[in-house]
Amino acid sequence: MAMIETVNLTRKYGELTALDNLNLTIDEGECFGFIGPNGAGKTTTIKILATLLKPTWGEARVDGHVVGYQNHLIRPVIGYVPDFLGAYDDMLVSEYLEFFAACYGIHGEKRMRVVGEVLELTDLRSKRAADVNGLSRGMQQRLSVARVLLHDPKVLLMDEPSSGLDPRARIEMRELLKELRRMGKTILISSHILFELAELCTAVGVVEQGKLVFSGAVSEMMARAGGGSVVHVVVDERPQEAAALLKGVAGILKVTLEREERAIRIDVTIDPKSGMTVSDIPSRLIAQGFRVARFSQEPMNLETAFMRLTKGIVS
């Protein structure tokens, strides 16, 4: 069953088209990673699904309800986590959560129980009496997740939840998201930390210039990007000439001079019928008189596939 669905979803800001006929389907219980360059339309999509923006045309549905017409039915089933926690001054963590629980119509003993449960789930019980504005960035992000879990929503819309977090806080956030996935929540998460999405998500979508470039399993994205691997070569001298030589080799998709002095990045897809292997690359350079100081190979991953599928264009 599709929990989130968009059909030709388009959003314009004057002459600027932020979303251009976006067609997206996310099934119930899926953890979907939404990736793309800055300005590609990710936040606009999430805000439309959160009923904070109306589409210019097209349609978005959440749990079968149409955004813009049935918002009163959508809001009880969603939890929206922005990349920045909006908090009121001079409130304790417990007061903050009790206030929002009351907004959701949760009262009496049930409210106290629910607040305690979300504090436990997000590992914030020890911060119950802490001032919200005194929390670290990581703690505030966990509090933001705790807030949207109060009414036990089916769908979580998370816009860069790990943005600005230190390594420990990022790991803790990732473990929390894994637990929410195990609870059966449908999660749409946008992030620039691609290796985390590869570990966390069951599927990913790539958006660029407001258009959906790819949607499917991570393994399918690798195949769509052409498979292969990335090779890094450092030569002692004449890196431009070495790069020019490699550009003419069959199976080499892209050759780029890296920032590191005399370093070359090579995107490779070797045709098995050619009889050539990745290890032949340094051999070719050596045969032409180049001295190879370092050679390494990394497998195709989500970051490499993303770089191949996108051009860095924004809306």
Which pLDDT score, from 0 to 100, does residue 313 have? 45
- Return phi, psi of residue 268, to 5°: -125, 135
Q: Which residue has the higher pLDDT, 87 or 62?
A: 62
Confirm if 60 and 6 have CB atoms less than 8 A apart. Answer: yes
Q: Which residue has the higher pLDDT, 287 or 258?
A: 287
Which pLDDT score, from 0 to 100, does residue 268 have? 63
Which pLDDT score, from 0 to 100, does residue 300 have? 66
Mean per-residue pLDDT over the chain, rounded: 86
Which pLDDT score, from 0 to 100, does residue 299 have? 66
**pLDDT by residue (tens digit) across 119-154?**
999 999 999 999 998 888 889 989 999 999 999 999
Which pLDDT score, from 0 to 100, does residue 85 have? 72
Residue 257 has pLDDT above 70, yes or no: yes
Tell me the pLDDT band of 63, cut-offs 50, 70 and 90: very high
Q: Could you tell me the CATH number of the domain that includes residue 13?
A: 3.40.50.300
The answer to the question of residue 104 being in a domain is yes
The answer to the question of residue 312 being in a domain is no
Q: Are residues 124 and 244 in the same domain?
A: no
Residue 242 and residue 88: Cα distance in Å, rounded?
Answer: 59
Residue 223 has pLDDT above 70, yes or no: no
- Total domains present in the chain: 2
Q: Are residues 211 and 96 in the same domain?
A: yes
Q: Are residues 215 and 271 in the same domain?
A: no
Percent of the chain exceeding pLDDT 90 equals 50
Which pLDDT score, from 0 to 100, does residue 308 have? 67
Last residue of a domain, one of 190, 223, 256: 223
Which pLDDT score, from 0 to 100, does residue 202 have? 87
Q: Could you tell me the CATH number of the domain that includes residue 237?
A: 3.30.70.100
Which pLDDT score, from 0 to 100, does residue 145 have? 93
Q: Where are the alpha helices (DSSP H) in the chain?
A: 42-49, 71-74, 93-103, 108-121, 137-149, 167-182, 194-200, 218-224, 239-247, 280-287, 302-309
Which pLDDT score, from 0 to 100, does residue 315 have? 45
For residue 235, give Cα distances in angstroms to 44, 129, 263, 286: 45, 59, 7, 10
Q: Are residues 157 and 247 in the same domain?
A: no
Domain range for 200 is: 2-223
Q: Are residues 87 and 25 in the same domain?
A: yes
Q: Which of 21-35, 193-207, 219-233, 246-260 has the lowest mean pLDDT?
A: 219-233
Q: Are residues 168 and 254 in the same domain?
A: no
Last residue of a domain, one of 188, 208, 223: 223
Q: Which of 15-24, 25-34, 51-60, 77-86 has the lowest mean pLDDT?
A: 77-86
Mean pLDDT of 103-112: 93
Mean pLDDT of 169-177: 88
The answer to the question of residue 250 being in a domain is yes
